[in-house]
Each structure stands twice: as C-alpha cells, then as structure tokens.
Amino acid sequence: MTFPLYDSPITNDIRIIFVDFDGTIKPAGAQVCQADIETTHKLKALGIVRVVATGRGLYSFQRDYPDKFDLDYLLFSSGLGLCPWENGPGPLSLSGSFTASDRERVLNASLKIKRGFFAFEPPPRCHFHVYQYPDGHPPTEGFLSRLKSYARFTEPYKPGLDLGRRSEFLIPAPSSDMPEVKRQFEKLCPGVSVLRSSSPYGDDSMWLEIFPPGINKGATAKFLADGLNFSAQQALALGNDFNDLELLSWAGLALVTENAPPDLKNLFPHIPAVTEKPLTYVLNLITAGLSHKNHKNGF
C-alpha cells in the first residue's frame, strides 16, 4: 500500500535534516529551485542543522553546488565521506577505502560479472578512477555518458594494473537486469556494502554501488548525529532512491518525494516531487508544527 501525501504538521523536535540531492531537491538537467535555496537559510534561522546526503562524489557535488545554497555538512559518496561545509568543503571528518584483500575480491567479482565498472580513489580524489568496458553486454547510456564527462579523470583498467587504494566500485546495468546482477555480485563477494541507485544520466539503467563494509548513508548520518548529540528521533531524512534506504530507515521521521520508486513509497510517506519545492514543503510542515506546539502551550 502506498502512503498518502504527507501533510501533517511536524511536531517532532527536529534538530537535523538530511536531504538527498539528485532527484530529491535537484531535478535532472535543472538546478535546485530558488525557493528551496532560500529554505536552507530559513532552516538555519530555526537552529536546524542542514546536511546534504548524496551519492555524488565530492568533486561532482562541488561542480553543481547551487549558488547561495546554505549547508552545515556534506555527506557524499553514499556515506563514504563526510565534511563540514561553508561555501565549500572543510576538512574531511570521515573517509574510507577498501582493505587490499577486499579490493581484490571486489575487482575479481566485477570482472567476472562482465558488465563493466568504474573503480574510484578515496576522497578527496574520488573523481579519479579506472574503468573496464563491458564484455559481451552493450554499455548503458549512463556508462558512456560518465566516461565522456569524466574523461580527464579516468584511464582504462589493464590486467595486472596496481589499483592502489580504492574506495568505491560502480557497476551500471539495465534496470531489468539489476536484480540478477546484484544477486550475482553478492554471491561472488559477500561482506562488502552493496547499494543500488538510479542512473544520474536519466537512462533506464541502475548503478550497483560497492563500498567497504558498513558504508551507507544511514551509518554516516548516525555517526554525525551522535557527534552532535542528536538522537535519531531528532532527525528528518528526505530522499527519493534506493541508496537512501538505510538513511530513511534510521531517521525518526523519513519522507520520500513523489517521484520515488513505488517500493520506497510503500515504505515511507511521500511529499510533492522534486520539481515542486519539496524542501520548502517540509519547512512549511515544520513551521506549522511549531505553531501548533506554541498554540497548545498558550503562546
């Protein structure tokens, strides 16, 4: 059953907001709307800590960072990295990479699946990577688009190449094939963190995101909240894709946008879609909740 549109005043004691970027507040091929940019400043005035929790790497987010968008923290690469943010990234608070043995296991599994892959260096250089072209499968449009847009940061993988430290592997596949690709990978390489997300290039494909064990948005959100002495019940999470699942499951209040997959809308209440000022919609619900609490207390 899909939840109805969430329109109740938010009376929870929200102290921190985690919001996904692409497909949640940033539409494909467009920028974050001005109303949602202004909302980041209004949330600050309410004393609410603002965190973007994105699957993008640090370089990719900086490249499309909206002018005057006001943040406190950036959680990037689906939880691999974390840094404070003030008109740009501060020192890394969290960064991870595979052990040598896990890196080799992930590499071998990726080669056996033959769908092609990208293997990324650790933050802050996580836009540098090697790639392997698909073997026996046509490349997805997203694979080719990423290869083109990051051409100056990539080189082809060659057998015997010393990969050094790596933080993430990415395997694109058509959406219809992804359940089987994910099953095959997890059978070949158990024990690492395996997430999936929609292609950011708008084609009908999905991306298998492979990280060191325990890496996901929810784990890193908890790490940050604990450090700020906030509980999960004081956190609101807003997302739209499968790699938001752990974050949404952890937060005390979890919402998805209308454009989220049906499977997510069956699990979490939804609000208006990415093109309809979703962050501003959330602010209005928080403001309504604050008014409701003040009215009850006689203010």
pLDDT, one tens digit per residue, over 156-205 is 999 989 999 999 999 999 999 999 999 999 999 999 999 999 998 889 89
Establish if 5 belongs to a structural domain.
no
Give the global pTM. 0.94
> Residue 1 — pLDDT band, cuts 50, 70, 90?
low
Last residue of a domain, one of 184, 211, 238: 211
* Residue range(s) defining the domain that contains residue 181: 100-211
Last residue of a domain, one of 150, 181, 211: 211
Distance CA 291, CA 299 (A): 9
Last residue of a domain, one of 195, 211, 227: 211
Q: How far is CA 120 from the centre of its chain?
A: 16
Establish if 7 belongs to a structural domain.
no
Are 115 and 179 in the same domain? Answer: yes
Are 27 and 171 in the same domain? Answer: no
Give one word for 211, left, alpha or beta, with left for phi > 0 and alpha for psi -120 to 50: beta
Distance CA 196, CA 131 (A): 18
Residue 74, domain CATH: 3.40.50.1000
Residue 204, domain CATH: 3.30.1240.10
pLDDT for 125 beyond 70: yes
Are 106 and 204 in the same domain? Answer: yes
Establish if 10 belongs to a structural domain.
no
Are 104 and 202 in the same domain? Answer: yes
| Helices 178-188 and 100-113, packing angle to 10 deg | 140
How confident is the model over 244-294, as pLDDT tens digits? 999 999 999 999 999 999 999 999 999 999 999 999 999 999 999 987 665
The 3-state secondary structure of 11-48 reads CCCCCEEEECCECCCECCCCCCCHHHHHHHHHHHHCCC
Are 150 and 279 in the same domain? Answer: no
Establish if 85 belongs to a structural domain.
yes
Q: Which residue has the higher pLDDT, 87 or 158?
A: 158
pLDDT for 299 beyond 50: no
Are 70 and 156 in the same domain? Answer: no
pLDDT for 297 beyond 60: no
pLDDT for 218 beyond 60: yes
Query: What's the number of domains the chain is made of?
Result: 2
Are 281 and 226 in the same domain? Answer: yes
Mean pLDDT of the chain: 94
Are 275 and 188 in the same domain? Answer: no
Are 89 and 161 in the same domain? Answer: no
- State residue 292 phi and psi, 5-degree precision: -65, -45
Establish if 4 belongs to a structural domain.
no
pLDDT for 236 beyond 50: yes
Establish if 168 belongs to a structural domain.
yes
Establish if 254 belongs to a structural domain.
yes
CB 172 within 8 A of CB 199: yes
Establish if 76 belongs to a structural domain.
yes
